Structure 1
Amino acid sequence: MKQHITQAFVKRVECERGKSKQEYYDSEITGFILEVRSSGAKTYYLRTKGADGKRVAKKVGDAKVMDIKSARVKAIKLKRAIEESTDTMVILDGKNKKNTTLNNADDSCITLGAFYEDCYLPHVKKHIKSYETNISIFKNHLLPVYKNTPMDEISKASIMKLHSDMVVKKKLAPATANKVLIFLSSAFNIAIDLEIDGVSENPTKGIKEYKLNNAKERYITKAEASRLLEAINDTEQNIHLKYIVPMLILTGARRGEVLKAKREDFNLNQLTWTIPTSKSGKKRILPITPQLLELYHSIPKSESPYLFTSLKTNKPYVTIYSSWNSARVKAGLKDVRMHDLRHSFASALVNSGRSLYEVQTLLGHSTSTMTQRYAHLSNESLMSAASCAGSLVG
């Protein structure tokens, strides 16, 4: 069974009566096992596959002698050595001096690349709903720089330089540079929580993020929406884009919610679309309007349970940026982000006299704080309405 193995758990766990042994698979490190026997013996093991595809099982240590911190460190390094070795027999022979990777496994702190594969990736897939962004940031910005660098050698100075160079030299968006900083900080915090040997402090601490003007919103007009939809209907890059974008406009849903929508989530009798788990962590139920219902029926059906499936992967789209970017440029709306369609949905509601509570509910904001950004639109609408009384006094 799966279990986050801690020192406290190791100390208290006992083998159930009637069983000779029990195995607990760690929820953080794939293949790391605590074996508990009826005799009272407790042993750490690692099970994984070598580069040749052969399964390897290796004892990590006696749990009554080795603490969980040391066991985790050894398991991670051993796992990396096994998976990179092309000779399983060398791995199994602990006395073979030719396997320098294995023999030196305890000599240095784990590299960021090894930690990413063995700990960070399993962690974000388990705890973060939209983990694709985390993976993208690591693969495109962090691993090219730090993949083979031991985590205890990643300095604050080098991180500050990376953060700065992304904006100054590479001309990337400050928001992207900030994500690199945030995700690297998260990786170090996870390593500290797991008590990875050599990682005792977070080198990102104290590094200032770029200031962003997140309050700046872009709302599309009716004329702009028409141009955008016309450009999308003409595109051949993605056959689903002409359904995805109108759905974003009609519902105010997040991009990921639309891309992962399943047909079973749509109740055509009650005219509701249930989003199982939103960003807030709770399910959300949206009404299916006549326009949305018409759009739903126009979406080509496939054997996939998802509304939109990539023809290349036969899985839900991870990104539709390329086709979206081509369409918005063609429409002369290069400054419009996909998320602005969500803002435009909210703007349309507020300007139609709907309350901020209604907007909050439909957008799925867990608190009213995020919805308050649309309050000024409500005030403008009220001002316009109140101004109508001016005609009474000439």
Structure 2
Amino acid sequence: MKKKITLDFLKTLAPQEKLFRVYDTSIKGFVLRIQPTGTMTFYYEYRNAAGVNKSYKIGRLGDIKLAQARERAEEKSAEALLGIDVQAKKKSEKQQAKSNLYNTLSGFLDKKYEPWAMAELRTGKDVLDRIRRNFSHLLDRELQEIHAWDISKWRAEQMKKGKKPSTVNRDISCLYSALSRAVEWGVISIHPLEKLKPIKTDSNGAIRYLSEDERTRLITALNEREAGLRAKRLTANKWRLERKLAPYPEIRTDDFADYLKPMVLVTLNTGLRRGELFSLRWEDVNFDVDSLTVHGVVAKNKTTRHIPLNETAKTTLKRWKEQTGKTTGFVFGNKKGERFDNIYSSWDSLVKYAAINNFRWHDMRHDFASKLVMAGVPLNTVRELLGHSDIRMTLRYAHLAQDHKADAVRKLASL
């Protein structure tokens, strides 16, 4: 139907069984489509430079007034006369608006990187937290406006504050990886940190492990912490009973007071990474052959490995299993039975109480490897137990096995 579309004309229109169109007689290409449901929508129809018929949606009657629709149709008609493909332009503008949502570092992390990282990276939350914490001053910056100079300046400031070069490198590596994904996904065309080199570090530097005295102090601190928790529970229950309140469950002397001591004992005797310990499930512990399995999906190198349980690790896990009464789920789940998120607070308090300086949770893994090497265990066996994909990682402990070096030097005496 051809008719000048006016307010009076609109009042006369009624829906039909099929969609029909009204072509305005005063503005070429201005069209009203009426659906069988009664919905009326304005369009501008035209033919682009390639001779292809296109349709540009102006808006639905009710969301837009007739006068506004006519004005929009006249604008698009003028653009079409200039050779502009108005539908293609609209699509481009819509895509640009969508892209603008993640053009900044904050937007990219929120809209694009976080959903991917949480699904694909074992340490996704830690990586995101590290980026947002260390580079908060760049969150509102557009990705293409982040420069190597910005990171070099930040790096110099962190070094002045005393942060370790290896830690600074890890911080920057998290940001670098996120920006690599931005390039891969077409958000930016050039990696802004492509030419930034990491700080050189001594890969064979000092390995932190416990001395015998420190080990004794650590175990003593664990035992005293457990005794303190039991005492607090008794005091709390006495207070509650005096007020006729139900007491909390008693902590038996042969039970662990909480998760920390069994976690520490298992880590010291298996060399598990923190994330591997948090992800350990009872289905992965086999007391028939005295071993536990670290599955590739939670391992850093994505390779499944099996770790034998020595007497301490086995006894600890058996006691913990009997105490919790669980046969499935996380071995060290939180109060809700979910995977642990972190253990920083209780660990920091423990090593401070034990007067052990510069000893991180991860250093228990170094302690495990160091003790094996000093006991004469071959480096390749240590590599397998630790789950290193590259022997060079394990070679950091080689200096602890001095016998072969001493034998080599002694041979010079006969020359």
Which ranges in structure 2 are unaligned for 5 or more consecutive residues? 1-61, 64-68, 73-92, 230-256, 411-415
Identical aligned pairs, as a percentage?
28
Q: 2:392 and 2:280 mapped to 1: Cα distance?
A: 27
- Matched letter for residue 333 of structure 2: T
- Matched letter for residue 162 of structure 1: W
Q: 2:401 and 2:282 mapped to 1: Cα distance?
A: 35
2:139 to 140, 144, 147: 147
Counterpart contact for 2:207–2:397, Cα < 8 Å: no
1:279: how far off?
Answer: 1.4
How does 1:349-364 map onto structure 2 within 5 Å? 349-364=372-387
Provide the residue aligned with 1:310 in structure 2: 334
Runs (4+) of structure 1 exceeding 6 A deviation are 101-104
How does 1:265-280 map onto structure 2 within 5 Å? 265-277=284-296, 278-280=299-301
1:106: how far off?
Answer: 6.0
1:293 to 314, 321, 325: 314
Distance of aligned partners of 1:367 and 1:185 in 2 relative to their CA distance in 1, 3 Å threshold = closer
Provide the residue aligned with 1:213 in structure 2: 202
When the two chains are superposed, the root-mean-square deviation of aligned CA atoms in Å is 3.1
How does 1:5-84 map onto structure 2 within 5 Å? none
Distance of aligned partners of 1:179 and 1:192 in 2 relative to their CA distance in 1, 3 Å threshold = same
Q: 1:123 and 1:207 mapped to 2: Cα distance?
A: 25
Q: 2:395 and 2:190 mapped to 1: Cα distance?
A: 37
How does 1:1-394 map onto structure 2 within 5 Å? 105=97, 108=100, 110-142=103-135, 144-168=136-160, 171-196=162-187, 199-215=188-204, 216-235=206-225, 239-277=258-296, 278-299=299-320, 300-301=323-324, 305-311=329-335, 314-380=337-403, 383=406
TM-score where L is the length of structure 2:
0.62
1:328: how far off?
Answer: 0.9
1:226: how far off?
Answer: 1.5
SS at match of 1:318: coil
SS at match of 2:198: coil
1:69-122 alpha-carbon deviations (Å, 9 max, x no partner): xxxxxxxxxxxxxxxxxxxx99xxxx9x9xxx9898268571111111222112
Distance of aligned partners of 1:289 and 1:175 in 2 relative to their CA distance in 1, 3 Å threshold = same
Q: Which moved more, 1:203-212 or 1:256-265?
A: 203-212
SS at match of 2:292: strand
SS at match of 2:306: strand
Q: 1:376 and 1:114 mapped to 2: Cα distance?
A: 47
Counterpart contact for 1:284–1:364, Cα < 8 Å: yes
Q: 1:129 and 1:213 mapped to 2: Cα distance?
A: 27
TM-score where L is the length of structure 1:
0.65
Counterpart contact for 1:255–1:338, Cα < 8 Å: yes
Q: Report how many residues are paired.
A: 285
Q: 1:347 and 1:152 mapped to 2: Cα distance?
A: 45
Counterpart contact for 1:174–1:212, Cα < 8 Å: yes
Counterpart contact for 1:235–1:323, Cα < 8 Å: no
